[in-house]
Structure formats: structure tokens, C-alpha cells
Structure 1
């Protein structure tokens, strides 16, 4: 009897001590979340209060100016950001998703080159953005002679977010149960038909969420564009992929570096616009995850 009751008593003692630890852990998690939300709320309140006088249609209808801060706008920065993000999505998302499909569904894990690819992707995801700016300056802008254009910025940012897209897409594909694949193959479908008709539709919510979050990171990057020589004050909208451009982070940097108080207010208003775009994209990612996520 002693042999039977000793393990049971140990389990009972462990179960008695577990709720207290779980309760403390939940309190720590909720406190961390509350602190993060508090700082976010403080930031939003501060920039909205500072930029409220300039939050009107003039802000996105006019071009930037260093002579008339009262009527200056950020239209070129908004259009430049949209150009960069649009081209980045076109180049990075298909490439990243196809790479994830290969690594998860086709790659032989025993081959050394596949392991090397996975290792390099993990390492590239942690490389600072300024390094990608140096890469874009030396290879894309000068060696490939793309110049300081929209295409140079889009290719550089695509390389920046590509590892993140690959990792998030792989996690979404890996989350699909193996029984889905086995059932499809058992019914006579080919491997590509299984991937195209079963695996990809089931993993779309995770892929879309990771892709939107990766593009959200790209919107707020300023260091790569500084290395690429993007102009801080461009008074025209980009007319194509080979046109000069500016982005919102660079325009905010230019405004905040001016000594006049009007430029500080203008920079705060531009920050509100940038934060609104980021929060909108993150909200869409959360909605997609909650709306289409499947519980296996």
C-alpha cells in the first residue's frame, strides 16, 4: 500500500502547489501586458495632443516644405511609402511563401544544403536593418546601377522582410495536421494537388498574419533608406519605379530635426498618420487570424 500511495501523495502535493505558481505567472503576464498598453496609450495621447492642430486635410493634400511649415504636408511621403510597401509585397510575399513550401514539403532535411538554407534564414531574420541598407547601397544601387530609386528601396526592404515571411509561412504550413496530407494522398491526389488544395487553404490565416506583420515592420524602417540616400524632403509623388522618393519615417526625421516649433507639431501629426497605418495593418492581421483560424 505504501508503494501505491506514495506516488499519489506526491502528485497531490504537486497539484496543490501548482495553482499558486500558475496564478503568479498569470499576474506577471497581465502586468507585462498592462505596462505595454500603458506606454502605448501614453505615446498615442502625447503625439495626438501635440499634432492635433495639424491633423486636417492639409496634412495629406500638400507637399512638404521647409519655408512654410504652417501649410506643409506629407503627401510625397505617404505615396512613397505606398509605392515601397506595394512593390515589397509583390516581390517578397510570393517568394517567401514558395520558399516556405519547398522547405516544409519538398526539402530533404538530411541534406546539408537544406540545413544550411534553414540556418541562414534564421540568421538573416535577426540581422539589423542598417546592414540591409549597406547591402542595398553597395550592390543594388551602385553595382546593379539601380540608383536611388523606388525600385532600389523596394528590393532592399524585400530582402529585409523575406526571412520573416518565410519563417511565419513555414510555421503556418507546419501547423496543418499530417492527417490532412495523408488523407489527400490516400485518395489519389498528387503532392502538389495536396499542397495547393488542402495545405495552403488551411494555412492562409497564419501566412496572411505573418505577412502583414512583416510589412508593418517595413513601414516604420528608416535606417535602410538613410543608407540608400533617399531624400528627406521630396516635393513630388513618385511617378514610377525609377523615380526618386521619400517615405514617412524620413520626413518625420527631417521635420523633428528643424528648430521651429511648427515643424515639431507637423512631425507629431505625421507620427499619428504612421501609427494609424501600423495599427490598422496589425488589426487586420489579428482579425484574419481570429476569423479564419482553425482548431485542429
Structure 2
């Protein structure tokens, strides 16, 4: 119970980011969850897997709330998502299997590098140039698999990867964010299932777990996240994008550096 306020605060940040940027907030949620689990005396060799698996389980709910908020504003391109989704699910399952084979230290470094890279992209405002306004089914399927694999490996909803890709297909920023939020649903559901299965036979995990998913952490973070995701979506349609990008980049940089510095 002493960690409940931290779990709830993590959920508030995660939900806001889900609505604002079409991301699951995992690049913030995973480092914080890892630190909380470590402080609880959780087995070190499984800290990152559980942080990532729990993050994906939270995103499985947050993404639905965020998607609904973007859909009512006409910001989800469903025909594109239809061909992305199978690849996203396959990639997410592969990502969970990959994470199961890696150590906590390696996963922490991967999450840290991912967070810093995304932060730098946002700071430099590296907006992609539109190259293909009519992506084929094969391209969408391959891109979905790569995005799903990388996203599940580090516990994110895929927005930091899928938004730039969707921008390349010609979608405007808000539609790319909305479609990315919807893409977080297949990534998170398949990824969370993969982490539950991968961790089901692992010895040494405490009670209150389903594989690599912490039920107490999931419940507390998910409640706050689901409530805040629609708020983030409303803000995304009102606040200046450059201000939002800078704030998000600062959060990402801090979490990424903490992972690379060995905070977990």
C-alpha cells in the first residue's frame, strides 16, 4: 500500500501521454515501474520483464480509452489499421519472446536507448517527409511486424515508431496520433498475453503475478491511466504541438538516462 500513490501517479502520466501523443506512455511507465518493483524487493533478474509486461497490460486498456476519444474526433484511419494490425500482433508476440531471453540489465539499456532516441527526435523536431501516400498491404504488414516487435520488447504502445511511419504515408499529425493510438490495442493485448505466457513457468516470482504481469501494479496504474487518456486526447486537439513535444521529450530524456545509468 505504501507504493500505491506512486502507482497512481504513474498511471496519470501514462494516460495523459496516451491521449496526447498516441503512445502508451510505456517509455515513462516502464522505468518508473522498474524502480518501484526494485524498491519492493522484487527479484532483480525479473524486474524489467515484469515492468514491461505490466506496462503492456496497462496499455491494453489505456489504448481503448484513448482510441475512442480520437475516433469521435475522426482522427483514426481504420482502413490503414486493418492491414497494420496482424503484423502488430505477430511482432508483439515475438517481442515478448525476445524479452524473455534477455537479462534485466540488457532490457534496461534497450529501454534507455529507446527513450533517449525518441527524446532527441522530438527535440530536433525531426518530422518525416511524406514519401508514400498509398502504402500497399505488404508494406503495412511488414512495418506492423517490426513496430510490434520493437514496441513489445520495451513495453510501449508503439506510438514513437508508428506515428513517424504513418506520417510518411501522408497522414497529418493528429490523424497519425489517433491511428497510432488504435494500433496500440493489438500491440498491447498480444504483447501482454505473450509476457503472461512467457513468465508462467518462471520460478521465484512472488504472488499476485500472472507470468510477467504484476496484478497490483496493473490495477493501480490502469485505473488512473484509463481516466486520464480522454483528458490527454482533448488536450491534444487544443494545445500547441511544439509545447507538448518539448515537455514529453524532457520526460523521456530523464527516464532514458536513468535506465542507462543503471538505476534498475
Q: Does TM, scored on the shorter chain, surpass 0.5?
A: no
Point out the structure with max Rg over C-alpha: 1
Q: Greater relative contact order (Cα 8 A, min sep 6): structure 1 or 2?
A: 2
Q: TM-score, normalised by structure 2?
A: 0.31
Q: TM-score, normalised by structure 1?
A: 0.29
